[in-house]
Chain A
Amino acid sequence: MARPFARSIMPQRPALWLCLLMMMLLPLTGCSVRLIQPYDDAIEKGVTDFYEEFLRFTIVTGRTRGTYADNRSFYDKWQPKLTTLTARALTANPSGRCPSTATYGGLLPQGVAAARSAATPAGVSADSAPAGDCTAQLLQLLEDQFADFARFHEAQGSLGLAPEARAPRDLVLTSARAVLYVELAKKQGQ
């Protein structure tokens, strides 16, 4: 029954139909191939600000071995900001994927889910698989990393944020730089 309708409009607009067909097959922007969402100034600025403030926080708090209880306001400020950036990236490309991250081409042969599960202490739920394209996944990883930094700080109890304890700080910064590196590469490629 749909055929007469299709026949009535398709011959008049073959170009439109062909372009629509290609848009369904490939993520296209102006009929050029788009595999990753474009550069976003808000992501670069948000993560750069986070990087600087987080670094300052660890230096200042480390100097006095500040405890989690005395510094909750820092976490309360940044957790919603990072969540918002992740939501922004997911909204920009809701059906996006980041291919090959299931096993990273064999580097994690059991898959990321198994590696996450193996690295998760008993009684703590493992991260769910990040959704969205590579940009959204990178932001989700940074958000989870910061949430774990807060848990780490809390678990340190009266030891607080010891200045020698560089690993957790460096691991959060690694995840932040991963976002920035990709955004700046997009910016240079524009």
Chain B
Amino acid sequence: MALDADALLATMSHAAADAFGEAWKDVKNYTIPELRKLAGTFVDIEAGLSARPPYYTRESADIVFRMQVRATESILTATTALTMMAVEKALNQILATVRVAINQAVKFALV
């Protein structure tokens, strides 16, 4: 049975939403379109192996599958970086709200 890109996307998006929890809403604008492209490449690998004549060799398909895992890793690492940037921004906003009080108390520019 041929792979269904929409079904693959739904499964991957659901898993990613669970994994990133509250941060998901901040990063899904990047992550979902990338996962959609990734689902398309799964379909392409299957099509390339089953085409007559095939346009992938068995050995090259093995390499493409490994690249698929690495591309997923790239998307998730970027998503992690974006959530860290959001955390960094929030931390600095929190520090900014108490900067004056703390710096006055310690009598130097600590924060």
Contact = CB atoms under 8 A, between A and B. Distances in A.
A107 B34 CA distance: 16
Contacts of A179: 74, 78
Contact of B75 (A100, A165, A178): A178
Interface stretch (A3-11, A51-59, A77-85, A140-148): A140-148
B20 A185 contact: no
Interface residues of A, number: 62
A60 interface: no
Nearest to A161: B55
Contact of A134 (B55, B67, B71, B77): B77
A104 to B, nearest CB: 5
Given A35-B88, A171-B68, A112 B73 contact: yes
Given A166-B41, A171-B71, A175-B71, A155 B110 contact: no
Nearest to B111: A31
Interface string A130-171: 000011011001101100110110011101001011111011
A115 interface: yes
Contacts, number: 177
Interface string A100-125: 11001111000010011011110010
B50 interface: no
Interface of B: 15-16, 18-21, 30, 34, 37-38, 40-41, 44-45, 48, 51, 55-57, 59-60, 62-71, 73-78, 80-82, 84-85, 87-89, 91-92, 95, 106-111
Interface of A: 15, 18-19, 22, 31-36, 98-101, 104-107, 112, 115-116, 118-121, 124, 127, 134-135, 137-138, 141-142, 144-145, 148-149, 151-152, 155-157, 159, 162, 164-168, 170-172, 174-175, 177-179, 181-182, 185-186, 189
